[in-house]
Amino acid sequence: MSGSVVLLHLAGAVALMLFATRMVKTGVERAYGDVLRHRLRATMRNPFLAVLAGTGLAIAFQSSTAVTLLVSSFAGSGIVSGAAGQLAVRGAEIGSALVVKLLTFDLTLLVPLCLVSGTVMFMATERRDWRQIGRILVGIGLLILSLEMIGQASEPLRESRLMPVIINYFSTDLITAFLLAGLVTWLFQSSIAAVLLMATLAGRGFITPELGIALVLGVNLGSSLIAPLLTRTAEPAVRVVPIGNLLMRGMGSVVMLILFMTFKPTVAFLGATAPDQIVNAHILFNVIILIAGIPLAGLVYKASERIVALGTPPESAESLATVELSALNEAALDMPSQALANATREVVRVCETVEIMLKRIIELYEKADPEKIRALAALDDRVDRKHAAIKLYLAKATARPMTEDEALRCQELIGACVKLEQVGDIIVRNMLVHVQKKFDRGLEFTDEGWRELTAFHASVLANARLAFNVLISRDATTARQLVQEKDRLRDFEKETSNSHFVRLRDGTAKSVETSSIHLDTIRDLKQINSLLASMVYPVLEEQGLLSGSRLKTG
């Protein structure tokens, strides 16, 4: 077999591993993301529990980077302290390393079991939670299968004359090997995938234990760079936790490499085989960083804040965030196609503002920050201004000759704009009132009630994004999916209301106290969802897919 064919097989196996890792992560996020986020928020105030929460989330998400980004968003919103966030990330690195250890065992029997059961669960039902569990099982099966494929694909390399030369070179140049491993990890966007690849190659005799230690340290350097790079354009408060992780884990890997090259300790105590030594070295490194990070969490957080502040330009007299541009060019009114395109751009901006409002309102239910409440109300004022400007612009455009299709598009944009303005009013005039009432009275939702609210909100937010996409793409399939989701959400509302009344009947104190807020919030979210779904009706009517108030069958 030629070298190019061997590398092609190896690349395919690695690609499958990366795809399977992402498949498991997205499945967990979609099925349990809201519950896990709520649990994380509730436990982050205790340093010990913060470490355990980070560990558990990393095992669930198959990614320490995902946990780092999640924790950094919480820290940026003021939900958790920066020091607690640092400890949660430390726990996430331990969880990520434990996932690697688990996947190095002989799990070949799980491949057919996971693939068969996962496929059946995914295809046999339309229930979202069961389909996501099926996705997770298929992902696990593919992940284990990919490890076997990597081993088989790399087998012909044993006979290669070039491979020993490459290994010998890197064994004598650990710094280059360290940097290369960091680059590979950054390209993979996954320390789990990188360590598994190295452990598999070590099992075939391609990587010596000493070289493996340098590569593992490089993996940790590369992994610590992913989150800071992904959040480089985020708000300063969001970037602090990823920078702190880079200071601890990234700098720690450099220090460990220097110590390893200086003292050249034996690695036999790490395990009997090269793969075990590599994986155990990865776990040991992150345990050391965790132990060192507990007393240094506060100091590292302060240093991270200073580093972020150095890279943040001072605000100008007129903040760019307050500058509003308008696409409503009066000169284009004589060209209906251009005028409609301009109006569409402006409506999309209203969609973005409404999405931000819808996303932020649920955070205020948990922590009613007065400044954020004022900011949300200001966004509604912006929606009102743009809504009025768009209606006036389109009214002027309709005074010019238009084709029938252009006139219909004009009406569609006006209708969408009206509904978006109504959504903004519901968020500010209804839901913000519930927020203020909840915190004025010091009320708290039950765990089950809060999970129901956040799950319902997540469904509405997902449907909002579908509606905004249809406004641009005018895709009938997506429009049909959105209306079907409206029916599913109606059933979800009935289940939620029934569960709430059961808790009331059982006399749960928190349910009694928050009953009106809970039910009113569900009602408001359902109304928002109905308004958003109605935005796509013109597309369905145009395709003949809407009959009265119901979708046509077929």
pLDDT in tens, 472-516: 888 888 888 888 887 788 877 787 777 777 766 666 655 566 777
**Secondary structure (DSSP) of 168-193:** HHHHH-HHHHHHHHHHHHHHHT-HHH
Alpha-carbon span 374 to 288, nearest angstrom: 44
Domain architecture of the chain: domains with CATH: 3-310 (no CATH), 327-551 (1.20.58.220)
pLDDT in tens, 54-87: 888 788 777 788 778 777 776 665 656 667 778 8
Place of tokens 């109905």: 530
* Closest to 87 in 3D by CA, of 392, 256, 339, 301: 301
Q: Cβ neighbours of residue 105 under 8 Å, at least 6 residues apart?
A: none
DSSP three-state, residue 104: coil
Half-sphere exposure of 361 (CA within 13 A, CB side): 31
Specify whether the CB–CB gap between 275 and 202 falls below 8 A: yes
Q: Global pTM? A: 0.59
Percent of the chain with pLDDT over 90: 16
More reliable by pLDDT, 79 or 280: 280
Residue 132 has pLDDT above 70, yes or no: yes
Q: Across the strands, what pairs with 167?
A: none
Tokens encoding 504: 């009331």
Tokens encoding 240: 């602090």
Residue 142 has pLDDT above 80, yes or no: yes
How does strand 546-547 pair with strand 550-551?
antiparallel
Q: Cβ neighbours of residue 315 under 8 Å, at least 6 residues apart?
A: none
Write 464-471 long-range contacts (CB < 8 A, 24+).
Answer: 464/354, 464/355, 464/358, 464/528, 464/529, 464/532, 465/355, 467/532, 467/533, 467/535, 467/536, 468/348, 468/351, 468/355, 470/535, 470/536, 470/539, 471/344, 471/347, 471/348, 471/351, 471/416, 471/535, 471/536
Say what the pLDDT of residue 547 is: 57
